[in-house]
Amino acid sequence: MSSFEGYHPLLTPNFRFDWLTQFRLKQVSLLTRRDLADTAEWVNGTMRATMGRTALTWGIERRATHKLVGWGGFDQLDLQHGTGQTYLTGATLPANEQQEIVNRLVHFAQEELQLDELTLKESSNLDTAVLTAAGLTKKDDLWHWQRR
């Protein structure tokens, strides 16, 4: 895909991944713990990186409650070399919900972005059993996935 525009919203059984611009600025500000002006600048920066195809950032909303629970996606994307980094930030969620989100991110990296290597930014909010179940392995203090 020449543009990342079609990569939203993404749906899982319990979550909707959408551009941060699709959420109320106040919701994003509360979650990121930034003031409104800083939040607006940050959201605009994430969209510039997304449209420049160097990153993908989604707000992650619980579909049943329409509550923004976090944000995540990919940065340090190098589509030519098939590499990138994924991350998930926000509230600590139950393991089954973490699994749903992490599985979606890993599958997206494999199938849509065609990445061959993926690292995970350090996150204290993710259960190691979730990461292992999603096919990531710990290597040099980083969680890593590689196409076989």
Q: How far apart are CA 130 and CA 135, in angstroms?
A: 9
- pLDDT value, residue 122: 81
The rounded mean pLDDT for the chain is 92
- pLDDT value, residue 140: 83
Pairing of strands 56-62, 83-90: unpaired
Q: How far apart are CA 108 and CA 112, in angstroms?
A: 5
Q: Which domains does the chain have, with CATH numbers?
A: 10-146 (3.40.630.30)
| 93 has pLDDT over 70 | yes
- pLDDT value, residue 131: 95
Q: How far apart are CA 29 and CA 148, in angstroms?
A: 40
Grade residue 2 by pLDDT with cuts at 50, 70 and 90. low
Q: How far apart are CA 27 and CA 68, in angstroms?
A: 7
Grade residue 1 by pLDDT with cuts at 50, 70 and 90. very low
Residue whose entry in the numeric block shows the structure tokens 């589509």: 79
| 134 has pLDDT over 90 | yes
What pTM does this model have?
0.91
CA distances to 37, 106, 132, 143 from 46, rounded to whole Å, are: 14, 20, 28, 23
- pLDDT value, residue 3: 74
What pLDDT digit, counting tens, does each position of 45-76 carry? 999 999 888 899 999 999 999 999 999 999 98
Mean pLDDT in residue range 127-138? 94
Sheet holding 142-146, edge to edge: 10-11, 15-18, 56-62, 67-78, 83-90, 117-120, 142-146, 137-139
**Helical segments of the chain, H only:** 25-32, 36-51, 95-111, 128-133
Percentage of residues of the chain with pLDDT beyond 90: 83
